[in-house]
Structure 1
Amino acid sequence: MELAFLLFISIVVLAIIFDYINGFHDAANAIATVVSTKVLSPRIAVIYGASLNVVGALLGTQVATTIGTGLVETQAVTSQVLLSALVSAIVWNLLTWFKGLPSSSSHALMGSLMGATAFAAGSSSLHWDKIIEKVIIPTFSSPIIGLVLGYFVMVALYWLLHKVSLPIVNRWFSKLQIISAGYMAITHGANDAQKTMGIIALAVATYYQTPFHVSAWIIIVCALAMGLGTVAGGWKIIRTVGSKMVKLKPLQGFAAEATGGTILFLTAHLGIPVSTTHTITTSIMGVGSAQRFSALRPKVVMNIMAAWVVTLPTTFFLAGGLFWLMQKCFTLP
């Protein structure tokens, strides 16, 4: 019983660490554009984004429920499964952060959970219908929606404002972009922090043998961990998303954040754990391509898309391998 409790505590601590890393890894999702357009200084932007990430994380548990009960059979989840999944997701997040690639923390966590569970109890322990509906289809559809919607929002703004002088447009949208960045930060917190809530709630249900439930303490701890992680920054990824991929002005930054935030608001409400990284990045791509397709930097875009493609399968097998290794080396409850 003592070892089981220590494992439970270890899982909770690792989940909080993952949430913190998610905060600085995905800080770019909320504040990259507002920093790159120089509307806010980096220091003020991270504090602003972190505060609203916390607010967003307190707004619901639909995504947490999907992570905890929708992807895998809860009976197949053990301490070894959760440990393997969390270590795998943390390793992938740190690796892509070090490389400055805005890969998906959400896909890293979901791929790891599915991989560890499949290696532990077989592929039948995965809810394939829900995985297709809430992971695979959104993996491809949310970036496409972000790209297309970002393009048309930008075209519409160009059409509405084509007679307004550029200095006035920049002055207006320097103010409006503060609002859109806040909107993006809230929806980012509502989507991403809930994924860790789902893992911790699953650990509680596994250890205490109780029904899955996201308690208030889990919500508060995950919200604060993500907020602190966002304060820590993640400047390599902010630089990639905010300036390397396409140069943005306040108008373009507003369009990208409004597009990405709206997609995340709707998916969080529906309990769909989409990648916030994919959503805002493709929104930026869509906005940039509305200026001209040559505004996009193909090499940077291809590197980002390659990271997207490999995240789910890599973390699936990484977590599976870690589970196999743990099973061979240790006898754990």
Structure 2
Amino acid sequence: MELSLIVVLVIVLALVFDFTNGFHDTANAMATPIATGAMRPKVAVTVAAILNLVGAFLSTEVARTVSGGLIKEGQGGINITPEMIFAGLIGAIVWNLITWLRGLPSSSSHALFGGLIGAAIIGAGFGSVDYGVVLSKVILPAIIAPAIAGLAAFAATKLAYAITRRQLGKPDGRGGFRYGQIFSSSLVALAHGTNDAQKTMGVITLTLIAGGFQAVGSGPEFWVIAACALAIAIGTYSGGWRIIRTMGSGLTEVKPAQGFAAETSTAAAILASSHLGFALSTTQVASGSVIGSGLGRRGSTVRWGMAGKIALGWVLTLPASAIMGAFAAGLALLGPIGIILDTVIGAIVIGGIFWWSRRQNVSHDNAVNVNDIDDAGRVVKIRKTPRKPNRRDRKEVAQ
């Protein structure tokens, strides 16, 4: 099989992954404004798609992390081939679609990194991966960023409720946060484009470098940026309905003030990480913000069982996609016949998942309520029993 053909196959597969990333992560930005009624579902998803497209053009630092840092292409004699990248993408896409279908909390970003790492280890050995970069720009941000975003959302929610405290029977004015959510959720969608679309740009750039079509250490070409921006935007628009489906059971407890605080904190964390080249999971950051904002509201508790389920999904994604990528890489080592087997098996699995998903069609007409951020909303539980009146309450009643 000619090298140019495998490069084309990898580019196409990378754009397919970018598409799945879009519809898998749509609700990271638009879950709370839909749940609070700030935006209608179809309008929200359209806005998210447009801003994902725009955001993809704003930065390339994360793309450089993927193309020139994660895998040691051209360093120390290590040779990462397009076949290995092809295998890694298959592992990432399959895991991404499995979790999308089942509504399991997962990260599209970590699925991509896991698939590439597993394929690289099988194809070129353990020395092909820069574990320092994996630790500093993937694992540590995955731990720190959600925690920081959660703390910021907690503080912002406390502040929002403090400055809008109801006094002397007057309206508290918190309904105005519903309009603020239009801005804050749009900012999250823009931030998502600056981080997640770049990961696919990095993969395509890595492929071009591995195939000898681009110099080592160079960034993504304009046509790569444009293609990835378009793919994630189309995915965001076309697939978001299934991801938003379970909002009613999880995020209906999120009030406008909480939603605004969560979205603002999410956007700030993602934009800062994109600037620094940290390839974090926007899903984890958004979930951390939702939990933090919920805890910032008086009367809330944490469902630790659901929190554990979310954490388990995050932990499993990297190794599970790595195993799938390693399996695909093992077949790819057989040569052209292995690439054909990978393609056929991957197509059957992907087609089967989409066929299974059609058994329960989801569109903007019936999308009410399946996503990681939705599960994060379930973690926060608002107590239904009334709290004991405090001194301020008794004083207001007396007046």
User: Normalising by the residue count of structure 1, what TM-score does the alignment of the two structures yield?
Assistant: 0.93
- Which residue in 1 is equivalent to 2:134? 131
Answer yes or no: is the 8 Å Cα contact 2:164–2:172 preserved in 1. Answer: no
| 1:157 maps to 2:181 | no
- Which residue in 1 is equivalent to 2:329? 323
Distance apart, 1:329 and its partner CA: 6.5
- Which residue in 2 is equivalent to 1:69? 68
Distance 1:235 1:282 in 2: 22
The alignment partner of 2:277 has SS state of coil
Q: Structure 1's 241 and 68: CA in aligned 2 closer, same or farther, altered over 3 A?
A: farther
CA deviation vs aligned residue, 1:120-140 (integer Å, no higher than 9, x gap) = 111111111111110111121
The alignment partner of 1:208 has SS state of coil
Aligned residue runs from structure 1 range 39-118, under 5 A: 39-75=38-74, 76-118=79-121
Answer yes or no: is the 8 Å Cα contact 2:153–2:292 preserved in 1. Answer: yes
Which of 182, 192, 196 is 2:200 aligned to? Answer: 196
Could you tell me which amino acid in structure 1 is paired with residue 157 of structure 2?
A: M
Aligned residue runs from structure 1 range 1-333, under 5 A: 3-75=2-74, 76-163=79-166, 168-170=173-175, 172-211=176-215, 212-240=218-246, 243-244=249-250, 247-292=253-298, 294-328=300-334, 330=336
Q: Structure 1's 223 and 144: CA in aligned 2 closer, same or farther, altered over 3 A?
A: same
Q: Structure 1's 122 and 26: CA in aligned 2 closer, same or farther, altered over 3 A?
A: same
Answer yes or no: is the 8 Å Cα contact 1:205–1:213 preserved in 2. Answer: no
Answer yes or no: is the 8 Å Cα contact 1:39–1:177 preserved in 2. Answer: yes
The alignment partner of 1:317 has SS state of helix
CA deviation vs aligned residue, 1:22-64 (integer Å, no higher than 9, x gap) = 0000001111111111111110000011111111111010000
Distance 1:116 1:124 in 2: 12
CA deviation vs aligned residue, 1:243-282 (integer Å, no higher than 9, x gap) = 5267211111111100000000100000100100000011
Could you tell me which amino acid in structure 2 is paired with residue 151 of structure 1?
A: F
Could you tell me which amino acid in structure 2 is paired with residue 199 of structure 1?
A: V
Distance 1:284 1:242 in 2: 15
CA deviation vs aligned residue, 1:70-111 (integer Å, no higher than 9, x gap) = 111113321221111111110011001001124110111111
More displaced stretch, 298-307 vs 119-128: 298-307
Distance 2:286 2:274 in 1: 15
Give the count of matched residue pairs: 331
CA deviation vs aligned residue, 1:211-264 (integer Å, no higher than 9, x gap) = 133001111111111111110133343245675267211111111100000000
- Looking at secondary structure, tell me which structure has more helix per residue: 1
The alignment partner of 1:234 has SS state of helix
Q: Structure 1's 102 and 274: CA in aligned 2 closer, same or farther, altered over 3 A?
A: same
- Taking only aligned residues, the RMSD between alpha carbons, in angstroms, comes to 2.0
Q: Structure 1's 217 and 281: CA in aligned 2 closer, same or farther, altered over 3 A?
A: same
Distance apart, 1:332 and its partner CA: 7.2
Could you tell me which amino acid in structure 2 is paired with residue 45 of structure 1?
A: A
Distance 2:322 2:232 in 1: 24
Answer yes or no: is the 8 Å Cα contact 1:101–1:240 preserved in 2. Answer: no
Distance 1:152 1:166 in 2: 23
Q: Structure 1's 120 and 223: CA in aligned 2 closer, same or farther, altered over 3 A?
A: same
Kindly name which structure, 1 or 2, has the bigger radius of gyration based on alpha carbons: 2
Distance 2:221 2:299 in 1: 47
Where do 5+ consecutive residues of structure 1 fail to align?
none
More displaced stretch, 267-276 vs 226-235: 226-235
Could you tell me which amino acid in structure 1 is paired with residue 180 of structure 2?
A: L
Distance 1:245 1:36 in 2: 6
More displaced stretch, 269-278 vs 313-322: 313-322
Distance 1:240 1:131 in 2: 33
Distance 1:296 1:56 in 2: 34
Could you tell me which amino acid in structure 2 is paired with residue 303 of structure 1?
A: K
Distance apart, 1:328 and its partner CA: 3.6
The alignment partner of 1:101 has SS state of coil
Distance 1:22 1:50 in 2: 12
More displaced stretch, 151-160 vs 84-93: 151-160
More displaced stretch, 276-285 vs 199-208: 199-208
Distance 2:87 2:137 in 1: 22
Q: Structure 1's 264 and 196: CA in aligned 2 closer, same or farther, altered over 3 A?
A: same
Distance apart, 1:163 and its partner CA: 3.7
- Which residue in 1 is equivalent to 2:368? none
Answer yes or no: is the 8 Å Cα contact 1:50–1:230 preserved in 2. Answer: yes
Could you tell me which amino acid in structure 2 is paired with residue 210 of structure 1?
A: Q
Could you tell me which amino acid in structure 2 is paired with residue 198 of structure 1?
A: G
CA deviation vs aligned residue, 1:127-157 (integer Å, no higher than 9, x gap) = 1111111011112111211222211111121
The alignment partner of 2:214 has SS state of coil
- Which residue in 1 is equivalent to 2:389? none
Distance apart, 1:205 and its partner CA: 1.6
